[in-house]
């Protein structure tokens, strides 16, 4: 059994597959209907309107409808697109067992405990027929896939087949006519006759009184000794299968006149709940209350496979109508599974594909599209003939032997076996078919070619056996790791790839050396490129690209299963369940196209993918890998190819723009963009002032001009800054710019504009910038600040003006301010450069811009000689100007036109960037800012995706973001101290020279600062936490629970910030977290136990004993619970605790004899009294988890939520609250999980 999906829920009573989409419906015993996507493993929708268990569920074949029937006697029809119930059908008088849509007609058939079967028209929402005849509960009823038949099973020990031809003629008026079908006159007459009959009043009355002939019993199948639980039709053959409480599965055959029992299959040890035909093979699948699923061969009537569960009884089965999928519902959920692998066994070499189909080794040539059977294989033995594990699992072709063809077929038969096929090299050209007599067989866990005439076998004893092509042993080599379970071709002669649980090793059997190893998840397939310089290691949900020497180049993780892949030069193309994707060696990935059904890539050649589907049919998919080729050319800095693709390809979309920005090529992204806002942002990112300025003209937004001014100011182009301030009318910044550039004339004009705008502060600032004390005195006096005006006049020696103001103050009766005698005149600084731009920050034009720039296409060049943007925003003429004219933006050229010659400056900058200037001109006009280095902290943040590395770098914000995404931590206050400790411990300080500051040195745990792969030393370590755990144990033993709880909380808060060195250490970290969680919960229970009294106290002590504690601590917990239960009068419960205490290891050892004797005494006295005075909310036989909020049990089968970090259990109502155990993470949030090992994001050089 290959489990594809499994869900945990209440007991599942009904299942239904969607015919096209990867959906499955489950109806539960608690009245909920769930809609699952079994491919993605997600719950899509819940429907909850039934009152009581829902036993029947089904999808409509075409319409977005589903139907359900439950113990509330109601049938409900739902629209899953609208996510609501459309209507309810009433009529049954007891529980409804099953409901089923008809494949063509608007009918629903339902079976009920009221001993009837009803057929409903869901369009008219009425019952069209009632089928009576069973004299006990009708357990199931379903339509035949093609004929006008219904099969039903009942507890009256019979299976009935009903003929509904009369009902179809009466209500549907003939079979449905397909589109394009010619309607003859005879069919019209038949339609008219049936219409007349249906409208006859007499016939309707007779049907109501005597039962009519709409549906008649065609066959009654009797043979079961007890009630029949299920019966179903074969999809194509005239067969019926049934299962009953007599633990038997019976196969029935029928013809036009009779039906008879073919055979009985025995094997179940309890009631058979459900039985169905396999959708793809001649098999029968049944499940039972004996907790097993059995597979039977129809031809041999024998059981071929059995699958069991430990504690769950099976209730329902469902088969997908098209795919090779089955589903089974049990007491605690349901599973979707397959009986066999559907991946074909194939191997490709050069222009030839070798694959197995219909017990033949076939050869497919790509170029002439020729497909030939080459070799007949042996007939599978045992149950393999029935389609279960029938074909080989893998095919290995020997690419190192050019003289002949060597193929190894590996299968799972007999626990693992291989077949070696050898046939001449000219057999393909001669179109000859070989025989299976030349096969060499053997038992092995894995087999792979090692050289031209040698292959290696991993036998059942985990030894590597080297054999020749005659299947004779030549050498035996032990693998370097005893847990090696599979071998793969290593790309070159004399080497093997060995797989263990968590790594792959490159092994050389001749020297018995491990040449390299790579830590990677359990791989399933290995795919080499044509020259064997690159290899793709495929696991269930991931891809790792490595070199020939097993050096990891990149790793990609998928959310769905990876099905296969192939190399197209340096691009690795692979398929998932629903996509074709690409992966480059630098880690870049993308989607190429979607898939309707899964396919397996056999060869990738430029724009075509050669594939095999699950039916072993060849298909060629057209793919567009332009995006991958573009990224590859960009990585190789192949600028000519990049520019050619920019001109002629249809690359577009936000994804490619974001990619170019991330890779540092915003100037390339600029050529893909037509959106003005995005184009403006990209122009600023690459420092292209001209394009940004022209785009800002088109947008006409003040925010864009403001950002343009900031970028121009950064580059030192103050003329563009001036224009930006003019466009936004930012007078304050404009005045300050004139002050910095020494443009006194325009500063005086700004003073005049401020006066016309009645801007008091603007006038004062401009007069201050100009050093005009007279103007400042006048501004202060007009603003009503006469004392300040007097002080200003006296300080600057304007005695006449000061006297006038003094008289005004005296006449107004205001005091005369005191003026200091040491005051000095304030004058603005003298600028160094007055006329030209400042020394410009060098923004050299890239190769892309110089080679590609097409001014006519995007309008990058604008004639500014007549543009109002430079010289018409502010009219600064010396003549009188009205305030309204200044406030409005003028459209005429004038004002500063003679001073603001930006075109010449821009042309000079362009000439400078495109040609080599003389040395003296370069020194005088341009200053290139040196490139800043990268500090170790930035490298740590760039290279690592672990929160501890970011905290050590001082980037607390990004560290908190990682912890929030990974384990949903939201309360960071308790972790503040750990963050500070990590940051302080990541550096050491060395005294510097006298009168100089000390020198900080980064503390690294591996690598160095120069190679770009350094990581900080982390203050937290496993030995420290183990010591803290021991101390916590000692405090717990002594009964100092408060101090012990603080130590355990300290460990919990250190765990997210610890870095494990290997996978085994990572498992130790998770184990430490489980231990800490259990002890924190135990201490909380002990604290609550000390506070409570009576029944609640006994309950808490009972829960205390179910925490996963050390044996010595568990003995103390059992002693407490036993004592309190005995004192409280619950002697049965006390005896249970005493037995558990006596069963503990070393309970009678020295030092524990007193506890042992006490337990024996309590057990003896409790067995004598044998009663419980109080009923406790405690059932020791039913497994449960502690609700860490209310400290009550959550028994198995109940829905619960867990803390995203420490995995403490809670009820569903606590979802979204902070965990009471760790006090830092949220409950019930789906996250990535705890990250314990450094995840390298990529070197930052």
pLDDT, position 880: 39
Please, are residues 110 and 98 in contact by the beta-carbon 8 Å criterion? yes
Q: What are 698-746's pLDDT values in tens digits?
A: 888 888 888 888 888 887 787 888 888 888 888 888 888 888 787 788 8
Residues above pLDDT 70, as percent of the chain:
83
Q: What number of helices (H) and strands (E) belong to the chain?
A: 35, 65
Mean pLDDT of the chain: 82
- Enter the tokens of residue 356: 């197995």
Please, are residues 291 and 328 in contact by the beta-carbon 8 Å criterion? no
Q: Are strands 454-458 and 464-468 parallel, antiparallel or unpaired?
A: antiparallel
User: Residue 1040 pLDDT > 70, yes or no?
Assistant: yes
Maximum average pLDDT range among 64-78, 164-178, 206-220, 989-1003: 64-78
Maximum average pLDDT range among 187-201, 842-856, 933-947: 933-947
C-alpha span between 1240 and 714 (Å, rounded)? 34
Name the pLDDT band for 1245 (thresholds 50, 70, 90).
very low
* For range 813-833, the mean pLDDT: 73
User: Residue 835 pLDDT > 90, yes or no?
Assistant: no
C-alpha span between 835 and 898 (Å, rounded)? 13
Local structure of 287: helix, strand or coil = strand
C-alpha span between 166 and 211 (Å, rounded)? 12
User: Residue 596 pLDDT > 60, yes or no?
Assistant: yes
Residue 1068: Cβ-neighbour burial (10 angstroms; 0-12, 13-18, 19+):
middle
User: Residue 854 pLDDT > 70, yes or no?
Assistant: no
Give the per-residue SS3 of 649-698: CCCCCHHHHHHHHHCCCHHHHHHHCCCHHHHHHHHHHCCCHHHHHHHHHH
More confident residue, 728 or 292: 292
Please, are residues 347 and 449 in contact by the beta-carbon 8 Å criterion? no
C-alpha span between 215 and 213 (Å, rounded)? 5
Name the pLDDT band for 924 (thresholds 50, 70, 90).
very low
User: Residue 960 pLDDT > 50, yes or no?
Assistant: yes
**Containing H/E element for 546?**
strand 542-547
C-alpha span between 528 and 550 (Å, rounded)? 12
Name the pLDDT band for 892 (thresholds 50, 70, 90).
very low
N residues, the chain? 1245
End-to-end CA distance of the chain: 49
Half-sphere exposure of 303 (CA within 13 A, CB side): 16
> Which residues is 1109 bridged to in the sheet?
none
Centre a 10 Å sphere on the Cβ of residue 872 and count the other Cβ atoms it contains: 19
- What letter would DSSP give residue 1019? S
Tell me which of 165-169, 336-340, 1012-1016 is least confident. Answer: 1012-1016
Residue 784: Cβ-neighbour burial (10 angstroms; 0-12, 13-18, 19+):
exposed
Angle at alpha carbon of residue 192, lines to 187 and 194, rounded to 5°: 95
Please, are residues 421 and 439 in contact by the beta-carbon 8 Å criterion? yes
Q: Are strands 65-70 and 74-79 parallel, antiparallel or unpaired?
A: antiparallel
* For range 1209-1227, the mean pLDDT: 91
* For range 600-604, the mean pLDDT: 93
* For range 826-834, the mean pLDDT: 66
* For range 880-909, the mean pLDDT: 37
pLDDT, position 261: 92
Name the pLDDT band for 247 (thresholds 50, 70, 90).
very high
pLDDT, position 194: 40
Name the pLDDT band for 72 (thresholds 50, 70, 90).
very high
Centre a 10 Å sphere on the Cβ of residue 69 and count the other Cβ atoms it contains: 29
User: Residue 926 pLDDT > 70, yes or no?
Assistant: no
* For range 550-559, the mean pLDDT: 91
Please, are residues 460 and 445 in contact by the beta-carbon 8 Å criterion? yes
List, in order, residues 6 or more apart from 22 with CB less than 8 Å away: 37, 38, 39, 40
User: Residue 437 pLDDT > 60, yes or no?
Assistant: no
C-alpha span between 280 and 283 (Å, rounded)? 8
User: Residue 96 pLDDT > 80, yes or no?
Assistant: yes
**Containing H/E element for 417?**
strand 417-424
User: Residue 168 pLDDT > 60, yes or no?
Assistant: yes
DSSP states along 946-991: -HHHHHHTT-HHHHHHHHHHHH-B---GGGHHHHHHHHHHTEEEE-
B/e letters for 677-709, b = 16+ CB within 10 Å, e = fewer, are ebbbbbbbbbbbbbbbbbbbbeeeeeebbbbbb
Name the pLDDT band for 642 (thresholds 50, 70, 90).
confident
C-alpha span between 1169 and 55 (Å, rounded)? 46
- What letter would DSSP give residue 1056? G
Please, are residues 968 and 1229 in contact by the beta-carbon 8 Å criterion? yes
Centre a 10 Å sphere on the Cβ of residue 725 and count the other Cβ atoms it contains: 25
List, in order, residues 6 or more apart from 849 with CB less than 8 Å away: 667, 686, 688
DSSP states along 1149-1212: STT-HHHHHHHHHHHHHHHHH--BSS--S--TTS-EEEBTTT--EEETTS--EEBTTT--EE-G
pLDDT, position 438: 62
C-alpha span between 789 and 779 (Å, rounded)? 8
pLDDT, position 299: 86
- Enter the tokens of residue 240: 């019926």
- Enter the tokens of residue 592: 């190429």
Q: Give, to the nearest 10 degrees, the angle between helix 1094-1104 and helix 1111-1127.
A: 160
pLDDT, position 553: 92
User: Residue 48 pLDDT > 70, yes or no?
Assistant: yes
pLDDT, position 215: 86
- Where residue 1088 falls (left for φ over 0; alpha for ψ -120 to 50; beta otherwise) is alpha
Half-sphere exposure of 792 (CA within 13 A, CB side): 21
Provide, for the chain, the percentages of residues in helix, strand and coil under a 3-state DSSP scheme, each rounded to the nearest 5: 30, 30, 40
Local structure of 1082: helix, strand or coil = helix
* For range 282-303, the mean pLDDT: 91
Residues above pLDDT 90, as percent of the chain:
38
Phi, psi of 887 (to 5 degrees): -65, -40
More confident residue, 1020 or 1226: 1226
Give the per-residue SS3 of 220-274: EEECCCCCEEEEEECCCCCEEEEEECCCEEEEEEECCCCEEEEEEEECCCCCEEE
- Enter the tokens of residue 67: 């139907």
Please, are residues 621 and 611 in contact by the beta-carbon 8 Å criterion? yes
Q: What are 961-1015's pLDDT values in tens digits?
A: 888 888 889 999 998 888 888 888 888 888 877 767 777 888 887 654 444 557 7
Give the predicted TM-score (pTM) of the model. 0.58
User: Residue 814 pLDDT > 90, yes or no?
Assistant: no
The CA distances from residue 280 to 3, 283, 382, 386, 1004, in Å, are 17, 8, 19, 10, 59
Name the pLDDT band for 381 (thresholds 50, 70, 90).
very low
- Enter the tokens of residue 1169: 């009294």
Centre a 10 Å sphere on the Cβ of residue 490 and count the other Cβ atoms it contains: 25
- Enter the tokens of residue 1011: 């190679």
User: Residue 927 pLDDT > 60, yes or no?
Assistant: no
User: Residue 132 pLDDT > 60, yes or no?
Assistant: yes
- Closest of 967, 945, 950 to residue 1056, by C-alpha: 967
C-alpha span between 1103 and 1125 (Å, rounded)? 12
C-alpha span between 949 and 939 (Å, rounded)? 10
User: Residue 945 pLDDT > 90, yes or no?
Assistant: no
C-alpha span between 590 and 536 (Å, rounded)? 16
- Enter the tokens of residue 16: 């239904």
More confident residue, 946 or 822: 946
pLDDT, position 204: 52
């Amino acid at each position: 059994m290959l489990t594809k999906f499994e869900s945990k829920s209440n007991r599942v009573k009904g299942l239904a597959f969607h015919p096209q989409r990867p959906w499955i419906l489950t109806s539960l015993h608690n009245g909920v209907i769930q809609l699952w996507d079994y491919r993605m493993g997600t719950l899509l929708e819940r429907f909850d309107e039934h009152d009581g268990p829902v036993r029947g569920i089904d999808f409509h074949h075409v319409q977005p409808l589903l139907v359900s029937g439950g113990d509330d006697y109601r049938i409900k029809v739902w629209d899953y697109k609208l996510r609501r119930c459309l209507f309810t059908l009433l009529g049954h008088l007891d529980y409804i067992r099953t409901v089923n849509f008809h494949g063509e007609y608007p009918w629903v058939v339902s079976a009920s405990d009221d001993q009837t079967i009803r057929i409903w028209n869901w369009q008219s929402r009425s019952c069209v027929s009632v089928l009576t005849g069973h004299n006990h509960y009708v357990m199931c009823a379903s339509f035949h896939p093609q004929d006008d038949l219904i099969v039903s099973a009942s507890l009256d020990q019979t299976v009935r087949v009903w003929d509904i031809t009369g009902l179809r003629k009466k209500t549907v008026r003939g079979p449905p006519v397909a589109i394009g079908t010619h309607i003859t006159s005879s069919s019209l007459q038949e339609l008219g006759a049936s219409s007349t009959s249906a409208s006859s009043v007499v016939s309707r009355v007779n049907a109501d009184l005597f039962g009519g002939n709409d549906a008649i019993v065609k066959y009654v199948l009797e043979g079961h000794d007890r009630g029949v639980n299920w019966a179903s039709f074969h999809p194509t053959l005239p067969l019926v299968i049934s299962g009953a409480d007599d633990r038997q599965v019976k196969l029935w055959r029928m013809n036009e006149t009779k039906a008879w029992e073919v055979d009985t299959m025995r094997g179940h040890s309890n009631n058979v709940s459900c039985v169905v035909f396999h959708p793809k093979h001649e098999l029968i699948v049944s499940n039972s209350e004996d907790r097993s699923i059995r597979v039977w061969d129809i031809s041999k009537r024998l059981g071929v496979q059995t699958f069991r569960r430990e504690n769950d009884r099976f209730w329902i089965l469902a088969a997908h109508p098209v795919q090779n999928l089955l589903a089974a519902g049990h007491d605690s959920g349901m599973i979707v599974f397959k009986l066999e692998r559907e991946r074909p066994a194939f191997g490709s070499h050069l222009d030839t594909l070798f694959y197995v189909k219909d017990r033949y080794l076939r050869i497919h040539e790509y170029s002439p599209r020729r497909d030939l059977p080459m070799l007949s294989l042996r007939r599978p033995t045992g149950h393999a003939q029935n389609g279960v594990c029938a074909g080989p699992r893998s095919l290995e072709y020997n690419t190192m032997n050019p003289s002949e063809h060597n193929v190894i077929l590996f299968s799972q038969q007999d626990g693992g076996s291989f077949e070696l096929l050898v046939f001449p090299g000219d057999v393909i050209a001669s179109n000859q078919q070989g025989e299976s007599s030349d096969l060499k067989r053997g038992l092995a866990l894995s087999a792979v070619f090692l050289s031209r005439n040698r292959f290696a076998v991993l036998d059942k004893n985990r030894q590597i056996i080297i054999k020749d092509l005659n299947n004779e042993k030549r050498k035996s080599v032990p693998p370097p790791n005893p847990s090696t379970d599979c071998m793969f071709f290593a790309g070159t002669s004399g080497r093997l790839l060995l797989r263990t649980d968590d790594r792959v090793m490159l092994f050389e059997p001749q020297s018995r050396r491990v040449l390299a190893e790579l830590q990677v998840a359990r791989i399933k397939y290995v795919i080499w490129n044509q020259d064997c310089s690159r290899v793709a290691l495929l696991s269930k949900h991931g891809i790792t690209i490595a070199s020939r020497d097993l050096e990891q180049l990149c790793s990609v993780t998928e959310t769905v299963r990876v099905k296969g892949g192939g190399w197209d030069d340096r691009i690795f193309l692979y398929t998932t369940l629903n996509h074709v994707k690409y992966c480059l060696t630098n880690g870049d990935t993308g989607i190429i196209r979607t898939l309707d059904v899964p396919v397996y890539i056999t060869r990738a050649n430029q724009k075509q993918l050669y594939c095999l589907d699950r039916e072993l049919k060849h298909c060629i998919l057209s793919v567009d890998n332009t995006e991958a080729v573009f990224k590859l050319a960009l990585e190789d800095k192949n600028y000519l190819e990049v520019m050619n693709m920019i001109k002629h390809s249809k690359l577009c979309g936000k994804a490619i723009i974001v990619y170019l920005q991330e890779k540092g090529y915003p100037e390339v992204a600029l050529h893909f963009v037509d959106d003005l806002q995005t184009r403006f942002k990209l122009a600023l990112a690459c420092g292209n002032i001209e394009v940004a300025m022209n785009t800002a003209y088109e947008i006409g937004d003040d925010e864009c001009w403001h950002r343009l001014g900031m970028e121009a100011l950064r580059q030192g182009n103050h003329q563009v800054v001036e224009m930006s301030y003019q466009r936004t009318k930012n007078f304050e910044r404009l005045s300050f710019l004139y002050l910095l550039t020494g443009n006194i004339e325009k500063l005086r004009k700004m003073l005049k504009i401020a006066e016309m705008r009645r801007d008091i502060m603007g006038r004062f600032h401009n007069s201050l910038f100009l050093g005009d004390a007279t103007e400042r005195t006048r501004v202060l006096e007009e603003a009503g600040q006469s004392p300040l005006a007097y002080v200003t006049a006296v300080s600057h020696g304007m005695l006449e003006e000061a006297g006038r103001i003094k008289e005004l103050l005296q006449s107004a009766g205001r005091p005369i301010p005191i003026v200091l005698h040491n005051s000095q005149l304030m004058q603005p600084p003298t600028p160094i450069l007055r006329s030209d731009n400042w020394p410009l920050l060098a923004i050299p034009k890239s190769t892309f811009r110089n080679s590609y720039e097409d001014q006519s296409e995007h309008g990058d060049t604008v004639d500014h000689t007549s543009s109002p943007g430079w010289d018409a925003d502010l009219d600064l003429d010396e003549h009188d100007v009205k305030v309204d004219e200044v406030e409005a933006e003028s459209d005429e050229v004038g004002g500063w036109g003679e001073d603001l010659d930006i075109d010449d400056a821009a042309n000079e900058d362009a000439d400078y960037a495109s040609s080599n200037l003389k040395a003296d001109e370069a020194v005088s006009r341009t200053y290139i800012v040196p490139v800043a280095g990268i500090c170790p902290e930035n490298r740590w943040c760039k290279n690592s995706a672990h929160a501890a590395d970011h905290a050590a770098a001082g980037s607390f914000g990004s560290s908190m973001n990682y912890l929030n995404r990974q384990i949903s931590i939201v309360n960071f206050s308790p972790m503040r101290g750990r963050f500070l400790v990590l940051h302080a411990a990541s550096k050491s300080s060395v005294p510097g020279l006298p009168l100089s500051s000390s020198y900080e040195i980064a503390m690294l745990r591996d690598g160095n600062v120069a190679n770009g792969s350094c990581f900080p030393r982390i203050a937290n370590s496993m030995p420290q936490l183990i010591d803290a755990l021991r101390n916590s144990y000692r405090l717990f033993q002594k009964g100092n629970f408060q101090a012990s709880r603080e130590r355990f909380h300290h460990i919990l808060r250190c765990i997210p910030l610890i870095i494990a060195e290997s996978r085994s250490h990572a498992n130790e970290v998770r184990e430490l977290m489980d231990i800490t969680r259990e002890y924190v919960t135990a201490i909380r229970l002990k604290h609550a136990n000390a506070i409570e009294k009576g029944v609640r106290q006994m309950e808490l002590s009972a829960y205390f004993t179910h925490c996963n504690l050390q044996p010595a601590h568990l003995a103390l917990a059992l002693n407490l619970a036993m004592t309190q239960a005995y004192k409280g009068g619950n002697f049965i419960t006390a005896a249970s605790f005493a037995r558990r205490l006596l069963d503990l290891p070393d309970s009678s050892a020295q030092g524990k004899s007193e506890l042992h004797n006490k337990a024996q005494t309590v057990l003896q006295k409790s067995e004598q009294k044998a009663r419980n005075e109080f009923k406790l909310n405690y059932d020791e036989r039913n497994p449960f988890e502690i609700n860490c909020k209310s400290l009550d049990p959550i028994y198995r089968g109940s829905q619960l939520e867990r803390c995203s970090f420490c995995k403490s259990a809670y009820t569903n109502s606590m979802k979204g609250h902070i965990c009471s155990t760790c006090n830092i993470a949220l409950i019930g949030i789906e996250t990535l999980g705890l990250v314990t090992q450094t995840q390298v994001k990529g070197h930052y050089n």
